[in-house]
Chain A
Amino acid sequence: MITIDALTKAYDETVVVDHVNLQLPDSGVTSLIGPNGAGKSTLLSMVSRILGADAGSVSVEGVDVFKAPSKQVARKLSILRQDAHTTARITVRELVEFGRYPHSHGRLTADCHAAVAEALTYCDLEDLAERPIHQLSGGQRQRAYVAMVLAQDTRYVLLDEPLNNLDMVHATGLMQLLRRLADEKGKSIVLVLHDVNYASVYSDRIIAMRNGAVVHDGPPEAVITDHALGDVYGMEFSVHTLGGDRIAAYFR
Chain B
Amino acid sequence: MKLSRSTVAAVAPWVAAAAVLPLAVVSVFVGAANVDFGALWSDEQSRQLLLQSRLPRTFAIILAGAALAVAGLIMQHLARNRFVAPSTAGTVDAAALGLLTVTILTPGMAVMGKVLVACVFALAGTALFVMLIQRVQFKDVIFVPLVGIVLGGVYAAIGQFFAYRTNLTQTMSVWMNGDFSGIIQGRYETLWLAGGVALLAYLFANWFTAAGMGKDFATNIGVNFKWAMAGGLSIAAMVTAVVVTTVGAIPFLGLIVPNIVTMILGDNLRRILPTTALAGAALVLVCDIVGRVLIFPYEIAVGVIVGTIGSAIFLALILRKSNRYAAA
Question: Hey, which bits of chain A sit against chain B, CB under 8 A?
Answer: 48-50, 69-75, 78-81, 83, 85-91, 94, 98-99, 101-102, 105-106, 130, 132, 149, 152
Contact = CB atoms under 8 A, between A and B. Distances in A.
Contacts of B220: 48, 50, 74, 78-80, 149, 152
24 contacts: A48-B220, A50-B215, A50-B216, A50-B220, A71-B222, A78-B220, A79-B219, A79-B220, A80-B220, A81-B216, A85-B80, A85-B214, A87-B80, A87-B328, A89-B267, A90-B209, A90-B267, A90-B268, A91-B6, A98-B209, A99-B221, A101-B210, A149-B220, A152-B220
Nearest 7 A/B pairs, CB to CB: A74-B222, A71-B222, A106-B206, A87-B328, A88-B267, A70-B222, A101-B221
Interface in B188-210: 205-206, 209-210
Contact of B266 (A70, A106, A132, A152): A132
A130 B6 CA distance: 8
Contacts of A132: 5, 266
A152 B221 contact: yes
Contacts of B214: 83, 85-86
B213 A86 contact: yes
Given A85-B214, A98-B213, 11 more contacts: A49-B219, A70-B222, A74-B222, A79-B220, A80-B220, A89-B267, A91-B266, A98-B209, A98-B210, A101-B223, A106-B206
B145 to A, nearest CB: 14
B170 interface: no
Contacts of A88: 77, 209, 212-213, 267
Interface of B: 4-6, 77, 80, 82, 205-206, 209-210, 212-217, 219-224, 262, 266-268, 270, 328
Contacts of B210: 98, 101
A94 B220 CA distance: 16
Name which of B4, B5, B206, B221 has the most chain A CB atoms within 10 A of its CB: B221
A75 B166 CA distance: 58
Contacts of A94: 266, 268
B49 to A, nearest CB: 45
Contacts of B205: 106
A157 to B, nearest CB: 11
Nearest to B82: A87
A89 B215 CA distance: 17
Contacts of A69: 222
Contact of A102 (B212, B221, B262): B221
B219 A83 contact: no
Nearest to B80: A87
B212 A73 contact: no
A102 B206 CA distance: 12
Nearest to A149: B220
A90 B205 CA distance: 14
A138 to B, nearest CB: 15
A81 B218 CA distance: 12
Contacts of B212: 88
Nearest to B220: A79
B266 A74 contact: no
A101 B222 contact: yes
A78 B205 CA distance: 22
A124 B205 CA distance: 29
Given A48-B220, A70-B224, A87-B80, A101 B206 contact: yes
Contact of A83 (B77, B216, B222): B216
Contacts of A85: 80, 214
Contacts of A91: 5-6, 266, 268
A126 to B, nearest CB: 14
Contacts of A75: 222
A90 B266 contact: yes
Nearest to B227: A70
B90 to A, nearest CB: 22
Contacts of A87: 80, 82, 328
A175 B206 CA distance: 31
B267 A79 contact: no
A73 B268 CA distance: 24
Name which of A71, A87, A106 has the most chain B CB atoms within 10 A of its CB: A87
A74 B224 CA distance: 11
A43 to B, nearest CB: 15
A73 to B, nearest CB: 7
A89 B216 contact: no
Nearest to B271: A94
Contacts of B270: 106
Contacts of A101: 206, 210, 221-223
Contacts of B262: 89
Nearest to B213: A88
Given A87-B80, A101-B206, A73 B215 contact: no
B8 to A, nearest CB: 11
B212 to A, nearest CB: 6
Name which of B4, B215, B222, B266 has the most chain A CB atoms within 10 A of its CB: B222
Name which of B5, B205, B206, B220 has the most chain A CB atoms within 10 A of its CB: B220
